[in-house]
């Protein structure tokens, strides 16, 4: 399977054309954060009907940390690194529905509640390669804007421009199919035979 070029943010109709397991390279912009404080502030803003410092409606939202050099003007990006999405799973269904997110990316996937919200919104989850900061960072072209600048850089909301980010795998599609759920089902099916084999070895 070849690499598919996409441009962020994706329209929901295009997100729904991405197939489970497909590999993509992404150009365009995404809002990123690696911080639980940012997710908690988003949750409070939703509860209060308050605006965010960076628009999230219809956007790509990445669980990714940013290190940048701060000087006069826009921050100069040094590197980015994906973080584990499951840390933020409790916040994601409400965010997906309220903001109509069309692309989420990170490591480790999301839970079934998030998958259900993604199916409703027309949103995909892209799995990024852990430990590939150098490769991913080479795709960063600019930090467009940041929000909640009282937080450390990795925890802020930052809008970042990319060219050729990836490769990333479609690990949850916009129709509810999830590689993570499939792997968990396989593990559950194999567990009885594994336990039986271990028990037999202990008896030897």
- What CATH number should be reported for the domain holding residue 127? 3.20.130.10
**Residue 166, domain member (yes or no):** yes
Q: Whole-angstrom Cα distance, residue 32 to residue 95?
A: 14
CA atoms within 13 A on the CB side of 16: 8
Residue 114 lies in a domain: yes
pLDDT score of 183 more than 80: no
Residue 204 in domain: no
Q: Is residue 10 a part of any domain in this protein?
A: yes
The per-residue pLDDT for range 125-164, each reduced to its tens digit, is 999 988 888 888 999 999 999 999 999 999 999 999 999 9
**Radius of gyration for the chain, computed over Cα atoms and rounded to the nearest angstrom:** 18
**Mean pLDDT across the stretch 51-75?**
89
Q: What is the DSSP letter of 131?
A: T
pTM of the predicted model as reported, rounded to 2 decimal places: 0.89
Domain membership of residue 198 (yes or no) is no
**Residue 195 in domain:** no
Give the tens place of pLDDT for each residue, 75-85.
Answer: 888 889 999 99
- Hey, which residues does 38 pair with through a beta bridge? none
82 in a domain, yes or no?
A: yes
Average per-residue pLDDT for the chain: 91
| pLDDT at residue 129 in the model | 86
Q: How far apart are the first and last CA of the chain?
A: 46
Residues spanned by the domain of 61: 3-178
Residue 131 lies in a domain: yes
Number of domains in the chain: 1
């Amino acid at each position: 399977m070849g690499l598919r070029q996409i441009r962020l943010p994706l329209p929901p109709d295009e997100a729904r054309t991405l197939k489970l397991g497909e590999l993509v390279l992404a150009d365009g912009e995404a809002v990123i954060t690696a911080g639980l404080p940012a997710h908690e502030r988003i949750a409070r803003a939703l509860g209060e009907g308050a605006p965010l410092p960076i628009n999230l409606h219809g956007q790509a939202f990445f669980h990714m940390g940013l290190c940048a050099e701060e000087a006069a003007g826009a921050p100069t990006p040094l590197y980015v690194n994906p973080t584990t999405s499951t840390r933020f799973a409790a916040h994601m269904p409400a965010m997906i529905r309220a903001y109509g997110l069309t692309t989420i990316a990170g490591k480790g996937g999301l839970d079934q509640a998030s998958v259900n919200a993604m199916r409703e919104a027309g949103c995909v989850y892209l799995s990024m390669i852990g430990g590939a900061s150098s490769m991913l960072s080479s795709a960063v072209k600019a930090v467009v804007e940041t929000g909640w600048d009282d937080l450390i850089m990795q925890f802020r909301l930052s809008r970042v421009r990319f060219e050729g980010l990836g490769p990333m795998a479609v690990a949850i599609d916009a129709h509810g199919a999830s590689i993570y759920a499939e792997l968990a089902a396989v593990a559950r099916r194999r567990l009885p035979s594994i336990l039986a084999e271990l028990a037999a070895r202990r008896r030897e």
